[in-house]
Structure 1
Amino acid sequence: MDDAVLAPAAADSLARWHAMVAAEDFSRLAEIVHPDAVFHSPVAHIPYHSRDAVVLAVSTALEVFSGFTYHRTFVAAGGHEVVLEFRARAGNRDVHGIDMITFDDDGLIVTFEVMVRPASGLQALAREMAERVGTQLSGYAQ
């Protein structure tokens, strides 16, 4: 089986994403997110719609995490989807998870889905997110 390769525009946006994570500066995140993007939370059963929702959820989650690092990257056939495996801490809990990101032909993020384990780490993340942006984020639920 051949290794899948990201489309050039997606690869560029992913490189920009990694630079933002490394710098802990998400002030330009909106530049790589599609206006109609969708965020799938690891704790909510309904998705959040819009660029603003994705930027708010993702940037806040990365503020909540400490020691956040990516360990592995998987690229899906077609070159528009990537899975990034990470480890971090939420409060005093270890977290292991993945970010599943889909890019459009222009390299803009159209979906950002997060899965987190174990349950204790997910609960710590959920509590902190609810305190910081719970009411704001709920306005984007559809």
Structure 2
Amino acid sequence: MAVTNADFRRMIAGSRGAVAEALPPLTVPDRLPHRFEPASRLPARAEPRTIEIVWAPAAPAGGRWLGGLATLAKVLAVPVLLAGGLYARPVYECHKQKSHGMLYYGTTVQMCVGERMAEKVESVQAFVNRQMRAL
């Protein structure tokens, strides 16, 4: 059983839950280069072809809460991953030093992490100062 173009457009609009009727098809001329018959250099007679594009209304946005939560998670994930990436290495190194007994007497892991973070900030400040002097 063949489906006509009008039936196809109604089927597309119905599957998307559209209230409005689908727009009529847009006919675009075929832009293939001219073909030549092999025996002569005369253009071959080709049947005119058209390309039919079916326009249908967009599907209604379902699950707006889910999309909003996904966007919020993406926005909040960047600062969390950045802070975690900067903070994770000093914490790991300090816990490793503690487990091997390499921390000074009375030094806690939290103090060690604070010292490491201060060293990072100082190195970044020194880098910025060098760059500013170079300009």
Q: Which has the higher contact order (CA 8 A, sep 6+)?
A: 1
TM-score by length of 2: 0.22
Higher strand proportion: 1
Which one has the largest radius of gyration?
2
Normalised to the residue count of structure 1, the TM-score between the two structures is 0.21
